[in-house]
């Protein structure tokens, strides 16, 4: 059984021949005329050159025939398109991984091919353990990419639970002393007796009352009580300011910064990876989820074998070639791809309508 693992598309100019070696098994589903016609009255033909199978190709160790691929190509005429009559054709063509194929356009008009990479060894039993990368990547689901923004431990907000627990413990100790055995009360009384007061202080304490109506503690004046209340209020206000500042710092650091390129592509870095940045010509292994603006998922690769492509070689849509450049292994991005960098006016029916903006949540697994 096969399963789609990534979208694919390419635009071919009239009168040219292009060679391609798919990095994975590729299924072509649609052939259509381009947006701009060089000659509206001319018929344009799409031809496909495929490897010509022979008995000797069954032997994987036969390296003498590797340089004769040009002589073993078979050319097939797939379809002919004419503006106003037949402008597109639905096909089912599978190109095998790492085999040489040739796309030939006979005529002046541009031809657009669309399809998707497939996995023909797909196992129907679900893998409930999450991602299972060869590089022993951590289990990760791109559907929750926005929750993966990490904060350093020293910047996490520290509440004052420790002080609150100490206060409870103190209350419990006082409760045990005041409500416990007679010995506890005697001990408390002996502590008070250890601090004798002068006659003037005793007389003053008898008359002194706190503002809340309770008796003043020995040796405590109303001025000292007010002073402690004022200090408590200042400490509380200072703590509130500190907590608010920490909250603002956290909010600023967790906001994703989006940048827009001149082409209209928008990029958000949800998580910065490690190691060198992805460059043109390198093989990139990716996880991704493709969505329409209404949230509908039209394609995804979140487990099993990662999607692999060569960056900048036209093996994926232009939005990917531009948006993946510069990412680091382990990095995560959100790409908002305009229709001009995706599937254009025609789209890729039935999953992707014409002129559709595409949103991809991507994670770079490795760069080679």
Q: Hey, which residues are catalytic here?
A: 288, 298-299, 317, 343, 360
Provide the 10 A C-beta neighbour count for residue 188.
Answer: 13
**Number of other residues whose CB lies within 10 A of the CB of residue 309:** 23
68 three-state secondary structure: helix
Q: Which residues of 310-323 are buried (b: 16+ CB within 10 A; e: fewer)?
A: bbbebbbbbbbbbb
CA 173 to chain centre: 52
Beta strands in 96-154 (DSSP E): 101-106, 111-119
54-77 burial, b at 16+ Cβ within 10 Å, e below that, comes to eeeeeeeeeeeeeeeeeeeeeeee
Residue 22: which residues within 8 A CB-CB, separation 6 or more?
95, 96, 97, 98, 99, 101, 117, 315
């Amino acid at each position: 059984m096969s399963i789609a693992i990534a979208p694919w598309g390419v635009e071919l100019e009239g009168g040219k021949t292009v060679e391609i070696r798919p990095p994975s098994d590729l299924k072509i589903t649609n052939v259509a005329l381009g947006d701009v016609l060089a000659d509206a009255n001319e018929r344009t033909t799409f031809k496909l050159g495929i490897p010509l199978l022979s008995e000797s190709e069954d032997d994987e160790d036969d390296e003498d025939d590797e340089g004769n691929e040009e002589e073993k190509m078979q050319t097939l005429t797939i379809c002919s398109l004419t503006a106003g009559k037949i402008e597109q054709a639905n096909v089912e063509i599978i190109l095998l991984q790492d085999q040489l194929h040739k796309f030939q356009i006979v005529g002046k008009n541009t031809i657009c091919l669309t399809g998707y990479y497939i996995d023909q060894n797909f196992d129907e039993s679900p893998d409930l353990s999450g991602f299972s990368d060869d590089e022993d990547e951590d289990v990760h689901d791109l559907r929750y990419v926005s929750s993966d923004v990490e904060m350093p431990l020293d910047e996490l907000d520290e509440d004052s639970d420790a002080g609150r627990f100490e206060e409870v413990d103190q209350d419990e100790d006082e409760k045990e002393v005041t409500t416990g055995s007679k010995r506890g009360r005697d001990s408390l009384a002996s502590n008070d007796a250890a601090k004798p007061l002068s006659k003037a202080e005793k007389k003053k304490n008898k008359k002194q009352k706190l503002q809340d109506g309770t008796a003043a503690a020995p040796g405590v004046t109303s001025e000292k009580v007010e002073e402690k209340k004022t200090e408590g209020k200042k400490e509380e206000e200072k703590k509130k300011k500190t907590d608010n500042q920490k909250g603002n710092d956290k909010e600023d650091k967790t906001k994703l910064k989006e940048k827009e390129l001149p082409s209209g592509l928008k990029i958000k870095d949800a998580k910065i990876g490690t190691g060198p940045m992805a460059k043109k010509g390198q093989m990139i292994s990716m996880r991704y989820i493709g969505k329409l603006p209404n949230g509908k998922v039209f394609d995804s690769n979140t487990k099993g074998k990662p999607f692999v492509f060569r960056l900048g070689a036209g093996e994926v849509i232009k939005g990917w070639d531009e948006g993946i450049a510069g990412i680091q292994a382990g990095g995560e991005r959100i790409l908002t791809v305009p229709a001009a960098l995706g599937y254009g006016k025609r789209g890729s029916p039935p999953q992707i309508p014409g002129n559709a903006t595409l949103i991809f949540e991507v994670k770079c697994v490795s760069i080679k």
